[in-house]
Amino acid sequence: METNGEEDQAAEEDQAAEEDNAAEKPDLVTLISQSDLFADMAEGQIERLATIGKVETFKRNEHLFREGDAGDKFYLVVDGAVRISRMVPGMGEEALAVLRPGSGFGEMSLIEDAPRSADAIGHEQCEVFVISKQDLEDLLFVDRVMAVDLLWKLVRILSKRLRDTNDKMTFLSVTGRFE
């Protein structure tokens, strides 16, 4: 059985480990400002974004959302990793991407009212910063400059993804892997 001195030492070690972990993680405002979607936004805009979202924790293999769910939130990985995947009939789960800190996902839900196109699963225990579509729309209604900036960012991100998909389809077609 531990004595009070051993309990105090264990508590100090836990606190030191938490402080070391916190020192390794960038603060939320910095992380948001480094994400593709919010990069180059004014510091005040980033700080407002940080106030409307919340950080949620998910366990390994826990679903953040499933394909077909209502798309009503944007996510930014703060710590750990999130796997984006789809179930392929006869094959099982097909991982589309593993996202690490600073990577955002779910942005399609910010511009369309369509169900989720894939599953998001904790690839390992993870923390994600979550902004609801409604909270973001309320903020953008008040800050029209931010709304225009964000819209153009979304257009560029989705355009790049379309171009990448076209390149992959061309490669598969040319190599005979896509018939």
Which strands sit side by side in the sheet containing 92-99, from one edge to the other? 63-65, 119-122, 82-88, 92-99
> What gap in Å lies between CA 35 and CA 27, rounded to an integer?
13
Range of the domain at 89: 4-132
Is the Cβ–Cβ distance between 74 and 110 less than 8 Å?
yes
In this structure, is residue 102 part of a structural domain? yes
In this structure, is residue 148 part of a structural domain? no
Instruction: Render pLDDT for 9-31 as a digit per residue (tens, 0 to 9).
Output: 655 655 654 454 444 556 889 99
In this structure, is residue 154 part of a structural domain? no
> What gap in Å lies between CA 25 and CA 78, rounded to an integer?
8
Please state which of the ranges 1-15, 76-90, 106-120 shows the lowest mean pLDDT: 1-15
In this structure, is residue 142 part of a structural domain? no
> What gap in Å lies between CA 110 and CA 155, rounded to an integer?
12
In this structure, is residue 139 part of a structural domain? no
pTM reported for the whole predicted model: 0.76
In this structure, is residue 138 part of a structural domain? no
In this structure, is residue 70 part of a structural domain? yes
More confident residue, 76 or 93: 76
Looking up residue 126, the CATH number of its domain turns out to be 2.60.120.10
Q: How many domains does the chain have?
A: 1
**DSSP letter string, 14-61:** HHHHHHHHHHHSPPHHHHHHHSTTTTT--HHHHHHHHHH-EEEEE-TT
Instruction: Render pLDDT for 101-139 as a digit per residue (tens, 0 to 9).
Output: 999 999 888 888 889 999 999 999 999 999 999 999 998
> What gap in Å lies between CA 144 and CA 116, rounded to an integer?
27
